[in-house]
Structure formats: structure tokens, C-alpha cells
Structure 1
Amino acid sequence: MKNKQNNRSVRPMACALISLSSSTLSQAVYAQADHPVLPEVNVVAQNDVNLQGKRTVVTTDSTGLPAAVSVVTAEELGTINIGRDISNMFRRVPGVVANNIDQGDTGNGFRMRGFATQGTHGADTAVYVDGVPQNMPSSQAGAGHGPAFLEWLTPDMIGQIDVIKGPVSALYGDQNRAGAVPISTQAGEVPSSIGIALDRYEGKRASLVLSGSYAFRPESPPIQSLFVSDIYRTHSYRYDGSTDRDNVFWKLSTRIGDGVYSLRLNHYRSESTAAGYLLLSDLQSGKVDPRSTQYGLPGFGSGKRSMFALNRAPANGQDGWYATLYGETFERERGIATSSVQHTVGSDDRNIFGGRLANNFTFGDRAALMVGAEVRRDRGDAQRQVWVRGVPTANYINAQRLDLLTYGLFVQGQFKPVDTVKLTGGLRRDWFDYDIVNRKLPAASTDYYAGVTTPKIGAVWSVLPRLDLFANVAQGFRSPAAEQISSSGPVGPLGAPGGTIYDVSPSKVKSYDVGFTATPATDLTLTAAAYYTLNQDEIVAQPDGSYKSVGDTTRKGYEMEARWRPLRAVALYASYGHIIQAEANSPLPNTGARLSVPRHQVKLGAEYRQRLQGAQLTVNADAYLTSGIPYYMGTPQTQLRFMPAYTRFDLRAVLDWKQYQLSLFAVLQPHRFSTEAAYGSSAGLLVSPQPKWQFGMAARYFF
């Protein structure tokens, strides 16, 4: 069955308006091979988003749209309590809730601008690492369609993270509805080191960083090498939670002719057990031990990933060709307990290959244009099977063999009619060419072909020397999941009769943004952005198990941030995010309209830096508050409730002396039974209890 569906020099400002990088989709000044800095034909401001007083200069690239962007540098990552969960790298980003659900390596929750409710694990945000998309389509071992699995990353590997609010760039494709997160890895220009870390609940980490530059002949360009190895073992606050994780990373970079090339190789392996969720009312009444296991039956999981990524960028200037080529084998399994004897076990076994080619043209200091194409092929099996007493049964929830081909064309450019105004625009056209073999319901096997077009347009105006305004209108999209196209039916064996093919279209959003960035004083920056997003043709599950493209959902809100350095040794930041509306415009019968996203989010922080007789002391304190998250309970689930407010306080002290570094950290979560990982059920709110205190230490030797 076929379905055809069709310059002025810029000024440094915190959390300013920047655009997207070219070829590898990241903006870093660390490795030119992956992160070109395009000509300064821009009006938009640069960024200072860390607390160290060091400006992180990221010039606006000559192809991107203006947007509210937060940048996290490698230096800032060293001041954040990452610990067992790489999602903590987003802790200071305004308006973002990011966390692992503490059920093993099961993906990284990422919620922004009213998208990605609890459990979607980063879907609706396009995540890239060195130009390689990380969202997994039609995942059965994660949580739904498009989760991002970032556990293979460690802080030592990361050079820079950009969090781009809104679907404002044509450089990003599938899942770019709430925005995009391009992550760039480090090059070889970092010191070699060896480190160990210990934290509460038997957390143990050992890491090795080897960096160097090598030349085969004196006249030949050197090869930069960076090797990172990380071993992590930990138990959970819960009795039956544990994670064993190994990561290996190697990146080589060099110049060949008129290009700079990098090759990255990775391997990741993980084994975990999970204690599941507990009912909040049972915890509050003392009926259950908060460290106990759901149904008394631990969940389990495992994962393996082997990857390569080859990148190319011009060696001189920004005009020329950019390219990315990648491939990986992806294996992941997750067993979720559904009773005292039964698990639902989801598994993905995929081979993924893809690439991207783009050419950047600049026209003096007034205009620039990038034209490119990309393709990704995802082949393998995705299934969920019922296990009883640890043994697989013949019953499946779904079982599909997938051959998913996506490809697209994009163009994006900018034009400066006058020095104080920049106009930007972009256009994407993406196609989905799927071959779905339904092993459970063979009659629902199908081919699927669809396309989607997403335009973008925006402008930025430097109204005053210390004030920039921006506005844009953009569309983003999310592809349909395989099980939204080919029905799964009731639980049963492979080869069962029946099955339905659903006529669904890719889900699109239209987003409107306005905002400003200002520097009223030399050491004070203020930024704010308001947004309105209409999600068109939302794909929704019907009571009969079918999927249809139905009504719209609406999201409205705003975010504000201030950063101030009152003294040379002290830096402060504060941000507030408020979601005014996030709801289905026409909810299904017997369901609630409001989406499970936080209404209020506050983030505060301070940093103190001081030289102490040859040593450097850095102390960071951060506070987070999230409240107003709705959920529904009852049968039908129409009883509106709100999750308990969640607060968290982080402390971190780092002492650098000669070649040694000592770190101490502590995390306080004072609200008992209040967690970031929770979801509503017919019986009430299910939560993953966390300890009141978490603490640890680390030591590192540089050589």
C-alpha cells in the first residue's frame, strides 16, 4: 500500500540570539573540522552563558535563523554535578527539564517549551552529536518514537552543547518541534588525565583521557588524537537498581588539502536493573518502603552501540563543502515489570547509516546561502514481547522488521539590507520511504511514502547599541512511528490474522517567537523570549487501538534569564520559565486536555572563584524548582491532579593545584517522595523515589 502525502561587529551577550552552525550542525570553536565559524556578517549577539567570566565567543553563522539559544561549554560542564546521569548537563538551561528516570540506561528525558511529556525520553527535540542524529525512530526498548539515548557520552568527550529553542533552523530535520540540541565533541587539544570518582550507593568511576598531536613528516599537518575511556559502576537508592556502563571514544583530526577532517569511533556497553515506580499514596501512607521494588520484580536492561562519524569542513574560510558520514550498530533491551511474575520486554536491533553534504556560499559581508542534502537509513527489528517468570512467551505486543529511509533537501540563508537588520529564511523538504514487515500481523505489512515541507523566516534588529530584538515564524515536524502506520492489535502470537494500515501524515508544528537580549550594564545581561506553538495533525491513539491524525495541541509560554557579575570572583544567574498553556484543543472522550509539563520552573545559581596560594578554588551552588505539573487519574482518567513541587539544591567545590584536581559534591532533594520521574495512572501518581542526600568526591591527575 502506498500513501502519498504529500557587520557590524557583534556584541557579547548572555543567552543571546544565535543561529545554527553548518555542516555538522554544531557551533564550537574547538575543532574546525566539525564546527566552522562563518563570516561575521551578523547583527545577532554572541554568548556568555557560563559563570566563569570567560566569554564563549560563538559568532552567528551566516546561514542560521535568530533564536533563543543556550550554550554549555566544556569548562562549565566541570562545574555541574553530572554524576550518574548525563542529562544533568542541561541543569542550568532555562526552561529545560532533563533527567534519566533512574530505571537503568533507558534514555534521557528532555522537556522544553511544553513538548515531550514524561516518558517520551527526548522525543520532539532533534538531538545531534557531531552532525549525527541521535533520536531513535520507532523504538521499542525506550519510550515510544524518537527517544534520544545519550548514555554513551561522558563529560570528557563533550566540547560544547547548544540548546536551540523552537524549530527555527532548516539544518535540522525529524523531531525538530520543540527545538534542537547539537552537541560537539572535543578535539585533541585538551590535557591528558586520569581520574577516579566515588559517590553514595557504591558509585565508582574510572576515566582516562589521552591527548596528543602527531606528525609522520615534519612538513605534514599534524594529526590531533583524543582517546577517552570511562568505566562506571553504581547501585541505586532503590534496593534493586544498578548500572554497569563502559564507554570508549577515539577521535582523530587533521588537515588534508583544503579541508579539515575528523574521524570519531565509539563503543558503549551497559547492563542495568531497575526498581520501577511506586504509588505516591502508598508511600505517603507508609504502606510501602520507598526503597522497595515495584511488584517485587526488578526490571532489567542492556545496550550496545558501536559508531563511527567522519566529518569534513573547509580549512580556510567558510565557503566550500561540508560533509558528514556515519554508521552504527544499535542493540538495546529493556524489561518492565507489569506484575509480580510478568515483564514486557522491548528490544531494538538496528543498523544505521547516513550522511550529509552541504555547500556554503558567502556574498561579501551582506549575504550568505547554504544548500544541502541528507539521508539516513535505519534497518532492523523492533519488538515488545511478554515474559513470564523470566522466560519469553509466544505472546507479543508488537513485532516489526523495519527498513526506514528518510532523506531531505534544505536551503537556508541570510541577507543584511542595512547594518542593523538581518533577514533570514530557510526551507526543508523531507521524505519518508518505509518498508514495514509486521511479523505479528502480516496483513498489516506495508510500504509507506510521505513528504513534508517546513519553511522558516525571521529577522533580528539592533535597535540600540545594547539592545537586540528578534522574531521568527517556523515550522517543524515529526515523522510517524512504524506502529502508528502498521497496527499491532491485541497481545498475541506472531503470524496472527487481521491487521490494519492507518493513513497518518507526519505531524507538523508552527511556532512563533519574539524576544530580546540586552546589556544594561557591563556585567549584567538580560534575555527573554515568548512563544506560541500550534501542533498540527497530532497523531493520537484511539480507544480501539488505532492511530489517527486528529486535532491540534497548543503551547504558549515565556522564559527569562539574568546573569550578573557583581564582583570579579562572583557570578550569579537566575531564570524563570512559565508555560501558560499546554493542552489538546479537542481531547478524546474520557481524557484530559492538559499535557503533563511543568507550569513553573525556576533556576538559580552562584559561583565563587578564588586563587589560594598557587591553587584555584571554584565553588558552585545551584537551586531548581519545578511545579504545576498536571496529571490525570481515575477510570476514565479525567480527575485532574498536580504532582508535588520538586526542588533540588546542588553544591560543588573544585580545587586545582599544580597537576592535581579534587572535587567534592552534594545534592539535596528535600521534598520527600517528590521526583522529576513520575507519571499519572488510573490509581494515582506513580513516582521513582530518590534519596534526600547524594554526595561524592573525585580526584584527577593531569599529565
Structure 2
Amino acid sequence: MKHPFRPRTLAACLAAALPSLAAATETTLPEVTVGSRRGDLVGVADAASEGTIDARRLATRPLLRPAEALETVPGLVVTQHSGDGKANQYFLRGFNLDHGSDFATFVAGMPVNMPSHAHGQGYMDLNFLIPELIAGLRFRKGVYAAEDGDFATAGAARIDYQRQLAAPFVEIGAGQNGYRRLLAAGSRPVGELQLLAAFEASGNDGPWEQPENLARRNAVLRLSEGSAANGFALTAMSYTARWTATEHVPARAIDSGEIGRFGALSPNDGGTTHRHSLSAEWARPDADGASRAGVYVIDYGLNLFSAPSGFINGPAGDQHEQADRRLVWGGQASRSWFLGPALKDSELTAGLQWRQDRIRSVGLYSTEDRQRSATVRQDKITETAAALFVEARTQWQPWLRSTLGLRHDEVDARVTATGGEFNLANGGKARAGQTSPKLGVVLGPFALPAPTEFYANWGQGFHSNDARGATSTTNPADGSAISRVPLLVRARGAELGLRSTPLPGWQTSVSVWQMALASELVFIGDEGVTEPKGASRRHGLEWSNELALPAGISVDTSLALSQARFREANPDNGGTRVPNAIPVVASVGAALDPGGRWFAGARLRYLGAYPLEETGREKSTPFWMANLRVGYRLAPGSQLSLDVLNLFDRKANDIEYWGGACTRSESASGACGGGIDGRLVHPLEPRTLRLALRIGF
């Protein structure tokens, strides 16, 4: 196949006093833009916990995996507990987001999260990302924006790709453990349009005793005109991957020497996946406002083989397959109106969103060495989601503005059981709707010792539950009775914050937040049933800083503290802690790029100990790790770079769980029974060197 490469309580309590402190200005502070010089900042922020990351930040950032681009969002953590072809594990604001259940992500206008997914609700596989093509990443935390709907409880991110590259290039990368990568990308004018094309092929074996044999193929073709604010883009993407996984394992299997630190219990876990898509985006401003529209279609598939419990069921192992085949299509449209001085220069926005997942087959199967031996459940699902939203931004005074939003969602699901001895009694229809009000108030900017804005935000949101959990009355594994769960789970959140520029080039933001979730119900793809976890509450504090220094030096820091608790104690152990909710996340990053030959970037990340089960007696081991990138420009458009990942070779675990499992020797000795509870771990990859040569044309 040939490709034509040519080659972003406090405020309310102070409201009465602050007008006297206001600076005599009718302007507002620009939106937080992470990784840019202040002169490049654009927009108006509605909360202290939102912002934009630009391409320059990513250029010097060492990445182990594509999805780690999301770690530019302060406080967000990306890990992995299986093979690198599987969606990553995400953590933010006291949420174990699993594979994306409470964080919504969009790429080129298309949703990434998959509802009623074979492996987990909201499954968010970002392995198709090409970081070099990212033009900007806009993020929000909390449930305060009317534009955000399903899964956007902890937050949401919107990633846009470049429309034009400065010059075409080819990059060849190689590293330890069989890592290899080829990326070719470029753009050229086609009349008044821009055509961008990119192709990526990569592979990796990893440090695992069982080689990962990861093979990825990725292609992007984009035809565009103008910009994201005034123009259009037609984007085609194609991504495929296959891999062999080393799953998390009982820590005791490593401690006893049954397997090595990077060993596997199951010999042939892993899978294959694909994501092919076509999307179109259009935006046009005019004298009265602006209009936006977008449509998309996605062909998606996954076959995932895993044995997280090892050998509980005998020497053949507990491997199962989770399979998903679907067509996703939908779109969105919005219109904004500037209402003029008579209505306080308000901006009114109304929008419509629609999505349908036609899941022709989603199933759970017992397997041995990737061969199906039994069908636990198999279903066909049609899930349709529609939403209307309206949002009004008003500048009441030079020092006071507000955002008032209202959103209504309707979700309709139809499930037809097509396989499984005990599953055929399941299926049916489920429908639910929710109206979600949103409110934000901004006070400032005030001169004070430094330009400062204060924020107060409140809102309601939701995440959906798996449609199979909302329609099933029979456990597909054994035929026992189970209860249906609600299709939508309500979330309520509030936040107080401030943003300030204490010194030229220094931006700082602080936010104090809380969140209440009506239920932590989770569909367990490994078992084909919904597991009730109960209502929860979370609160925390976040502090982030951006510092731009002379000579092309920039520094960023973030600290995120959170506490997550169930409202009711677990009846089995009396605990109220939410497992895998990370209470402390801290990071420090530095970049050096004066525009000459040399450039560099370094990052240090710390994860505090988190509870592995509800009592908190069992906790993970806290750890920190560092990554480094050093580069040298050989000529304009050409460079040599070296990434050193896990710079100090920290021996820690990428993820830890607590649960029942059985090793091969325990199963053979008859000591396992129904599984032995203990620590399940997936080790952090050791120090890894990767070298890349980019040649520009």
C-alpha cells in the first residue's frame, strides 16, 4: 500500500468584598494553556481545573506508551496491567478509572470510550494515537461543562490532530527488548486544501520472559481547510494490533520463585484488535456567533484472551476470551449566538449529540490456548444515546461572569441473547434519561499582588452502566438469579479554585473539589455479570504550576491529593475505602529547548500507597520513577533523540490489586480451593533505552 508522504464556599464567600478590589479592566485572564508562552494563550477559563496542552509540550516528553500523552493532564496516571495492545489503566481524582469508565476522551471529534464493551464499561483504547501528530489536548475535570456527557465524571479530554506539518519526515526508532518503530508523515497543499498523511509500524517484545510480540500498524489520512475554529477536516484512520500478554500475577508466585519477576502464569494470553474510522468536522464563525458540526463512523473489534485468576479451575487454566464487534456512528452540531450589550454580552450555545453502537456480537467464552471450549454468554446489542444541551456565558460585571448550562440525555438499549446455556433467558430493553444542570461563577480578574481569578463550579453528570447489566436477571455462569441495575448512574460534583500569575511566566492554579457517585456498579467482563459496589464520595485538592524561564527552559509541577470512600461499609470486612483509589499523585517536569542544536526533557512521577481492599490494611507500595529525553538537531527537520525510560531502574509495580487467584503449583497440589486471596502485581518495566533518528525532507 502506497502513501503520499510529503512530508491545546471561597469564591462565593468573597463575592461581596471583591468588587472593591477589582482592577479597572473589562478583560479576563486567558485560559490555562500548559506548555506555552503566555503570549500564545487564548480563550477564557470556566474552572481552575481545565486547560490546554500544546504540541510543544509533547515534543520533549519521553513516552513509554502512546496513551501517556494523557499524563500531561495534571494528576492523571496511565499504567498497564497486561499487554500493550490492551487499553491502559487510568487513575484520576480518587477514581480507579479502570480502562476509561469515568473519563471521556475524544480524538478528531470521535468518542473513544466504548459502552457495553466486552472487557469493561467505557473501554478507552488510545493505542492508536500518534503523539507526533497531536496539535493540542483540551481537558476539563469534573461535571461542570454542558458539552460533556457519558463517562465524563472525573473529567474529559479532546485531542485534535495537526492539519499541516512544517515539513515531511521519516523517523526510525529502535531500542532494547525488540522495540522498533517506523513513522513517516507529511503534508502538502492540494489546491486550497491541505492533505496530511502518516503511517506508523511498531513492535516490541518487552522485558517479559514470554515475548510480547506486539505488532501495530497505524495510518492517518486527513484533508482539511483552515483551522479548527474556521474550516473543515475529513479524517480517515486505520489501526490494527496483535500481541501476547503477560498478565498481572500473584506476588507470591514471584516471591516463591515459581516464576521470575517478568514471568507469566498463562502461556498464550493477549489478543488482536482493530479500529477503522472516518470523521468529518466543520466550523464557521460569523458576525452573530459560530456554528460547528461533525459526523463519524467507526468499525471496531477486539478478541482478548486472559487468565487473571490463573489456575483456580484446574491445570488447563482459567483463560477466557472476550470478543467485541461493533459499528459506531454518530455526530454532533452546535450553534453559538452573541446576544449583544443589551443582554450583558452573553454568549448562548445550543447543541445536539447523537451516537449509536450497533454491537453485532459481544461475548465471553471459556478458552484453552485461545481455542473456545464453551460460551458463557453472547449477545447482540443496539445502544443509542442522544443529548440536547444549552449553555449561557454572561459577563455581568468587569469582575463577575457566569456559565449556566443544562443538559438532557436519553439512552436506549436493546439486548438480544444469542449464546450461553444460562444466558438465553437474559436480554430485553432498557431506557433511561437524565437532566443535568451546570453552574460556574468566575470572580476577577483582580490586581491583588498578582492577576488572579476565583472560580466556583457545581454540576451533575453520569456514567452509563453496561446494557447487559440493565437487562439481565440470570447469572450466565450458573443460572442463579441476579438483579438488574440502573442504566445511568448519577454523579454530583462541586469545586472551588483560583488561578493566578504571581510572576511573569509563572501560572499557578489551585482547586478543592468533591464528588458523589450514586453507585460504583461495574460490569465484570471476566464473569459476565454486574458487581454492585455501592454509592461513594470523594474529595481532594489539586495544585499545578507552569513556569517559563529564559533560554527556552520550562518547568511544570502538579500535586493531587484525594480521598475516596464508600457511603456504606462492606458487609464482609466492614471497610469503606475504595480499592485502587490513589490518594497522592505528584509530578515534576522540565524541558530545555532554546532553539539550537540540543533539546531535552525530564519527568519525575510519584504514586502514593493506595488501598487494595476496603479496610485499607492491604496497601500498594508507593514509588517514584523518572524518564529522560535528550535530543540533537542534525539539520533543519532532522534530529537524533534518546529516551531513557525508568531512568533509575526502579523496581516497583505498575499496578497492584487484591484478589483471588491460583498458581500452577497451588492448583497441582490441591491447595487452591476456590482461589487464594492475595496481592496481584504487574511489574514496572526496567530501565529501557530507545533511540530515534528523524530525517526531514
Q: Give the structure-2-normalised TM-score.
A: 0.86
Find the aligned partners of 2:388 and 2:258 in 1 and give their Cα distance. 57
Find the aligned partners of 1:467 and 1:54 in 2 and give their Cα distance. 15
Structural mapping, 1:578-593, within 5 Å: 578-579=561-562, 581-590=563-572, 592-593=575-576
Find the aligned partners of 1:360 and 1:610 in 2 and give their Cα distance. 40
Q: State the match for 1:668 in structure 2.
A: 646
Q: State the match for 2:503 in structure 1.
A: 521
Equivalent of residue 244 in structure 1, options 212, 215, 229: 215
Unaligned runs of 5+ in 1: 1-13, 18-39, 216-221
Does residue 1:563 correspond to 2:546, yes or no?
Answer: yes
Q: State the match for 2:515 in structure 1.
A: 533
Structure 1 residues 648 and 546, CA gap change in structure 2 (3 angstroms): closer
Deviation at 1:325, TM superposition (A): 0.6
Q: State the match for 2:670 in structure 1.
A: none
Structure 1 residues 204 and 550, CA gap change in structure 2 (3 angstroms): closer
Residues 292-318 of structure 1: per-residue CA shift (max 9 Å, x gap): 1124x2312101111000111105568
Asked whether the equivalents of residues 86 and 154 of structure 1 are also in contact (C-alpha less than 8 Å), the reply is: yes
Q: State the match for 1:575 in structure 2.
A: 558
Structure 1 residues 273 and 522, CA gap change in structure 2 (3 angstroms): same
Residues 80-139 of structure 1: per-residue CA shift (max 9 Å, x gap): 1124x112213343211113434131112221111235xx21220111112221110111
Does residue 1:510 correspond to 2:485, yes or no?
Answer: no
Residues 341-380 of structure 1: per-residue CA shift (max 9 Å, x gap): 3411001100111011111111237210111111111012
SS at match of 1:238: coil
Find the aligned partners of 2:284 and 2:108 in 1 and give their Cα distance. 16
Does residue 1:68 correspond to 2:49, yes or no?
Answer: yes
Q: State the match for 1:609 in structure 2.
A: 593
Find the aligned partners of 1:685 and 1:548 in 2 and give their Cα distance. 20
Asked whether the equivalents of residues 420 and 461 of structure 1 are also in contact (C-alpha less than 8 Å), the reply is: yes
Q: Which shows bigger deviation, 229-238 or 529-538?
A: 529-538
Residues 627-682 of structure 1: per-residue CA shift (max 9 Å, x gap): 121102xxxx7572111112111111122232311111102265765223222114
Does residue 1:425 correspond to 2:410, yes or no?
Answer: no
Equivalent of residue 619 in structure 2, options 642, 647, 665: 642
Does residue 1:395 correspond to 2:375, yes or no?
Answer: yes
Does residue 1:484 correspond to 2:469, yes or no?
Answer: yes
Deviation at 1:151, TM superposition (A): 1.1
Residue type of the alignment partner of 1:101: H
Does residue 1:304 correspond to 2:268, yes or no?
Answer: no
Find the aligned partners of 2:542 and 2:392 in 1 and give their Cα distance. 27
Equivalent of residue 411 in structure 1, options 390, 400, 420: 390
Structure 1 residues 307 and 443, CA gap change in structure 2 (3 angstroms): same
Residue type of the alignment partner of 1:664: L
Q: State the match for 2:656 in structure 1.
A: 678
Residue type of the alignment partner of 1:199: G
Q: Which shows bigger deviation, 305-314 or 666-675?
A: 666-675
Residue type of the alignment partner of 1:348: D
Residues 373-426 of structure 1: per-residue CA shift (max 9 Å, x gap): 111110121111001244211231x32110101111111120111122111111
Deviation at 1:269, TM superposition (A): 0.7
Equivalent of residue 207 in structure 1, options 161, 173, 183: 183
Q: State the match for 1:156 in structure 2.
A: 132
Find the aligned partners of 2:299 and 2:365 in 1 and give their Cα distance. 22
Structure 1 residues 322 and 691, CA gap change in structure 2 (3 angstroms): closer
Find the aligned partners of 1:255 and 1:73 in 2 and give their Cα distance. 18
Find the aligned partners of 2:631 and 2:550 in 1 and give their Cα distance. 20
Does residue 1:631 correspond to 2:608, yes or no?
Answer: no
Residue type of the alignment partner of 2:184: L
Q: State the match for 1:698 in structure 2.
A: 692
Residue type of the alignment partner of 1:368: E
Q: Give the structure-1-normalised TM-score.
A: 0.85
Residue type of the alignment partner of 1:322: R
Find the aligned partners of 2:647 and 2:471 in 1 and give their Cα distance. 43
Equivalent of residue 126 in structure 1, options 80, 100, 104: 104
SS at match of 2:657: strand
Equivalent of residue 294 in structure 1, options 240, 243, 265: 265
Residue type of the alignment partner of 2:73: V
Structure 1 residues 503 and 287, CA gap change in structure 2 (3 angstroms): closer
SS at match of 1:91: helix
Deviation at 1:541, TM superposition (A): 7.5
Deviation at 1:148, TM superposition (A): 0.8
Structure 1 residues 367 and 344, CA gap change in structure 2 (3 angstroms): same
Residue type of the alignment partner of 1:364: G
Does residue 1:436 correspond to 2:415, yes or no?
Answer: yes
Asked whether the equivalents of residues 444 and 498 of structure 1 are also in contact (C-alpha less than 8 Å), the reply is: no
Structure 1 residues 189 and 171, CA gap change in structure 2 (3 angstroms): same
Residue type of the alignment partner of 2:169: S
Equivalent of residue 117 in structure 2, options 139, 142, 163: 139
Find the aligned partners of 1:551 and 1:275 in 2 and give their Cα distance. 32
Residue type of the alignment partner of 1:627: G
Asked whether the equivalents of residues 651 and 686 of structure 2 are also in contact (C-alpha less than 8 Å), the reply is: no
Asked whether the equivalents of residues 152 and 268 of structure 1 are also in contact (C-alpha less than 8 Å), the reply is: yes
Find the aligned partners of 1:608 and 1:310 in 2 and give their Cα distance. 37
Unaligned runs of 5+ in 2: 1-7, 12-24, 661-676
Deviation at 1:464, TM superposition (A): 1.6
Does residue 1:460 correspond to 2:442, yes or no?
Answer: yes
Q: State the match for 1:88 in structure 2.
A: 68
Find the aligned partners of 1:264 and 1:41 in 2 and give their Cα distance. 39
Does residue 1:194 correspond to 2:174, yes or no?
Answer: no
RMSD: 2.7
Structure 1 residues 513 and 42, CA gap change in structure 2 (3 angstroms): farther
SS at match of 1:685: strand
Find the aligned partners of 1:74 and 1:443 in 2 and give their Cα distance. 51
SS at match of 1:631: coil
Residues 62-93 of structure 1: per-residue CA shift (max 9 Å, x gap): xxx4341242211211111124x112213343
Asked whether the equivalents of residues 193 and 210 of structure 1 are also in contact (C-alpha less than 8 Å), the reply is: yes
Deviation at 1:166, TM superposition (A): 0.8
Find the aligned partners of 1:665 and 1:54 in 2 and give their Cα distance. 28
Structural mapping, 1:265-304, within 5 Å: 265-284=236-255, 286-295=257-266, 297-304=267-274
Asked whether the equivalents of residues 463 and 490 of structure 2 are also in contact (C-alpha less than 8 Å), the reply is: yes
SS at match of 1:101: coil
Structure 1 residues 639 and 170, CA gap change in structure 2 (3 angstroms): closer
Residue type of the alignment partner of 1:645: P
Structure 1 residues 547 and 153, CA gap change in structure 2 (3 angstroms): closer
Q: State the match for 1:20 in structure 2.
A: none
Deviation at 1:150, TM superposition (A): 1.0
Residues 498-546 of structure 1: per-residue CA shift (max 9 Å, x gap): 866615241111111011111111132221111011112443689x997
Residues 46-68 of structure 1: per-residue CA shift (max 9 Å, x gap): 33411x6465423128xxx4341
Structure 1 residues 678 and 56, CA gap change in structure 2 (3 angstroms): farther
Structure 1 residues 648 and 56, CA gap change in structure 2 (3 angstroms): farther
Find the aligned partners of 1:437 and 1:545 in 2 and give their Cα distance. 14
Residues 20-68 of structure 1: per-residue CA shift (max 9 Å, x gap): xxxxxxxxxxxxxxxxxxxx99734333411x6465423128xxx4341
Structure 1 residues 281 and 538, CA gap change in structure 2 (3 angstroms): closer
Find the aligned partners of 2:321 and 2:404 in 1 and give their Cα distance. 45
Find the aligned partners of 1:233 and 1:516 in 2 and give their Cα distance. 44
Structure 1 residues 362 and 335, CA gap change in structure 2 (3 angstroms): same
Asked whether the equivalents of residues 486 and 500 of structure 1 are also in contact (C-alpha less than 8 Å), the reply is: no
Does residue 1:171 correspond to 2:147, yes or no?
Answer: yes
Q: State the match for 1:553 in structure 2.
A: 536
Structure 1 residues 189 and 316, CA gap change in structure 2 (3 angstroms): farther
Deviation at 1:286, TM superposition (A): 4.3
Asked whether the equivalents of residues 198 and 221 of structure 2 are also in contact (C-alpha less than 8 Å), the reply is: yes
